């Protein structure tokens, strides 16, 4: 939340703000940050290995084959 508040403060002052993170859990967005670069992607975006389509996937598990695997 502190980083999201700092981003708002910067934007209110007319400053640019970009959050670069290694986190993959989406918590920065949930906290309110807007301009985020996720260096390692997100656990909520999945890529089809056949057509390379990338989609948001909030299901747990992300596919039936992974049910009960952790």
Catalytic residues: 40
Rounded Cα–Cα distance for residues 28 and 49 (Å): 28
| Secondary structure (DSSP) of 27-53 | HHHHHT--SEEETT--TTEEE-TTT--
For residue 48, what are the contacts with CB-CB under 8 A and spacing of at least 6? 54, 55
């Amino acid at each position: 939340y502190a980083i999201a508040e700092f981003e708002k403060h910067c934007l209110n002052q007319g400053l640019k703000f970009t959050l670069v993170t290694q986190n993959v859990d989406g918590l920065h967005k949930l906290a309110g940050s807007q301009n985020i670069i996720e260096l390692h992607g997100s656990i909520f975006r999945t890529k089809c290995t056949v057509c390379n389509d990338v989609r948001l996937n909030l299901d747990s598990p992300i596919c039936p084959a992974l049910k009960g695997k952790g």
